[in-house]
Structure 1
Amino acid sequence: MDGVKICEGISDISDSYSGILIDQWGTLHDGEKPYDGVIEALENLKSRGKQIILISNSGQRAEDNTKRLVKIGFRADLFNHVVTSAEVTWRSLENREEGVFKGLGNKCFLMNRANDVSVLNDTDIVVVDDVNDADFVLLTGSEAPTKTLENYYDDILRNAKEYYV
């Protein structure tokens, strides 16, 4: 193919960009430690003035992800920002002015892992125990394999079907 460049590593293309988005889990680390060469690669990118944005589909907010990264061996000065799905959700729930969040009520049926409600901290969102009392359902994590999808979704899907049919 013409125009396709085969790269040995990020250094082959990094001079073409001022910033780089890098996923965390499975790209930078295995959950316990950085992969070999990752710290050096980040140091090299930073020394050349690159903006490094770490992204994740994590149900944890950016600050919690940053703390976890530092705990497993990353220095916080190796990246400029952390963006997680939980952080984007939190910002959207905080003001509820755009898209599907516009006009959204404040009663939430929350499905999460280990009772983590950090995605709702400092908002006016109230967690309800009964999905029928909720204005919306938010899924930030699961307890798989302890709980199956059926455990989580049976009542919710049945109620949604009754509502939309």
Structure 2
Amino acid sequence: MTRIISSLAEVQAAYDALYCDLWGCLHNGRTPFPDAVAALQGFRAQGGRVVLMTNAPRPNRFVAAQLDRMGVPRDAWDMVVSSGDAAQAGMFAGLVGRSVYHLGPEKDAGFFTDIPAEFADAPAIARVPLEEAEGIVCTGPFDELTETPEDYRATLLYAKAKAMKLLCTNPDIVVDFGDKRIYCAGALAALYDEMGGTSLYFGKPHAPIYELARRRLAAAWGEVEPSRVLAVGDGIRTDILGGLAEGTDTLFVTGGLAAEEFGPEIDSPDPARLADWLSAQEITPTLAIGRLR
């Protein structure tokens, strides 16, 4: 049964590291949540390591720069591991070919241009028009504020006819940008799968992002047992499902994507509603909290 807590401090002594989601937990896409920042600072102050694990389709340095612009202090986290980082490895391995069509906004160009040292000698990846592509790299809609997956049905039908694979750099279906809900790359990849195409996933809840986080955590501070890691997030089928698959405890932030399911008090989820909803999802987080604090 999922235990509801009121603060991270109640349980933090049991863990050496956090895999903490960003959107819906630490910020809303525009501004950070002060209580969440304080909670992460408190965890680090007692010796814990904070790995910000995000399904952002960009390499980690671009995510860190975005956090800086938002005003998230550097003493709230230790490292960033992004879906973009894990997906780059798949791209440079040639999983969707060497000539690819970029389905996504130009703001995600760093996925192609910010090449980690480990791939410096890999064969080049060229961005080409759809008609010349071997596969697709999807970082999201071109205009995430107005478009839906259905706007891409014709593009995906063409890709399917050509037997192209789609590399999904962000498995999230939606996120809340301020007070607006927007579609992510995962929604386009899911539609492609429904249409009979083949999508490849690298972010939460899929294994590659966790494998990358473990390697980087171990390289910096030594191995951390899964039982001493807490996965934190508001995505029941990304953050929580992924953490459970990795054998870690999980903290479900109910005040994020599914906030309306748990009663009018966002900071205090109704236990009965939470239990019913989790039963319907067939997923049982270790812990739950209204907002990260």
Give the TM-score of the pair, scaled to structure 2: 0.48
The separation in 2 between residues aligned to 1:114 and 1:7, in whole angstroms, is 41
Deviations 1:97-142 (A, max 9, x none): 8xxx3xx52100110123531111236210011x232121111011
The separation in 1 between residues aligned to 2:68 and 2:127, in whole angstroms, is 31
Q: Is the 8 A contact 2:56 2:83 kept in 1?
A: yes
User: Quick one: which of 101, 105, 111 aligns to 2:97?
Assistant: 105
Deviations 1:37-73 (A, max 9, x none): 2222121111111010111111222101111111111
Aligned to 1:68: 66
Give 1:148 shift.
Answer: 4.2
Highest RCO, 1 vs 2 (Cα 8 Å, sep ≥ 6)? 2
Aligned to 1:138: 137
Give 1:19 shift.
Answer: 0.4
SS of 1:53's equivalent in the other structure is strand
For 2:12, give the aligned amino acid: S
Q: Which runs of 5+ in 1 are unaligned?
A: none
Aligned to 1:34: 32
SS of 2:108's equivalent in the other structure is coil
Deviations 1:24-43 (A, max 9, x none): 01101122222132222121
For 1:132, give the aligned amino acid: E
Aligned to 2:254: none
Give 1:82 shift.
Answer: 0.7
Pair 1:119 & 2:111 matched: yes
Aligned to 1:152: 152
C-alpha spacing 1:14/1:132, structure 2 compared with 1 (3 Å): same
The separation in 2 between residues aligned to 1:159 and 1:31, in whole angstroms, is 31
The separation in 1 between residues aligned to 2:160 and 2:102, in whole angstroms, is 15
Give the TM-score of the pair, scaled to structure 1: 0.81
Aligned to 1:16: 14
The separation in 2 between residues aligned to 1:51 and 1:36, in whole angstroms, is 19
SS of 1:67's equivalent in the other structure is helix
SS of 1:59's equivalent in the other structure is coil
Q: Is the 8 A contact 2:100 2:128 kept in 1?
A: yes
Q: Is the 8 A contact 2:41 2:77 kept in 1?
A: no
Superposed CA RMSD = 2.4
User: Quick one: which of 69, 81, 84 aligns to 1:83?
Assistant: 81
SS of 1:37's equivalent in the other structure is helix
Q: Is the 8 A contact 2:41 2:75 kept in 1?
A: no
Q: Count residues with an aligned counterpart.
A: 156
Task: Say which one has the larger Rg.
Answer: 1
Stretch of structure 1 that moved more, 114-123 or 104-113: 114-123
The separation in 1 between residues aligned to 2:57 and 2:80, in whole angstroms, is 13
